Amino acid sequence: PRVTQLDLTGPAQVFSSLPDVTVHLVWKRIEPVPSDSVIALTPTVTFADCPQLDVICVPGGYGTDELMLDEDVLAFLRKQESGATYVTSVCTGSLVLGAAGLLKGYRAATHWTARDALPYFGAELSLERVCVDRNR
């Protein structure tokens, strides 16, 4: 809930264009989930029915604060992470991965307003993709 729809639909569009790939939009229930805009997103599979994922991509948005405290979400990510090849996120989705304990020992990035939180999750803050105005 309250995901930034572009953080979800951008990666979904890219992954969906690959051959022999099935993209799952996963949530607790199969019912429309409100984004942080006027768009609602409909999951394709529940946590309980989700197969083992090869790639996990957690989108960001205003809803990440609640997800960081949602034990159902965190347990699902921990369970899936053990068999996934790639565990990724967009923007503040990294904070959810951190809350699940999946960033310990990794370099990670997030939205600039939340980046000071990453070390609390055991992650090393990565700034390589941050644009800096060198004329300042």
Q: From the candidates 50, 57, 91, 131, which is the catalytic residue?
A: 91
Active site includes 57? Answer: no
Cα separation, 105 vs 103, in Å, equals 6
Domain range for 112: 5-125
The pTM score is 0.89
Single-letter code of the amino acid located at 121:
F
CATH number at residue 89: 3.40.50.880
Q: Is residue 134 part of a domain?
A: no
Q: Is residue 130 part of a domain?
A: no
Per-residue pLDDT of the chain (136 residues; tens, 9 = 90+): 999 999 999 999 999 999 999 999 999 999 999 999 999 999 999 999 999 999 999 999 999 999 999 999 999 999 999 999 999 999 999 999 999 999 999 999 998 889 899 999 999 888 876 555 555 4
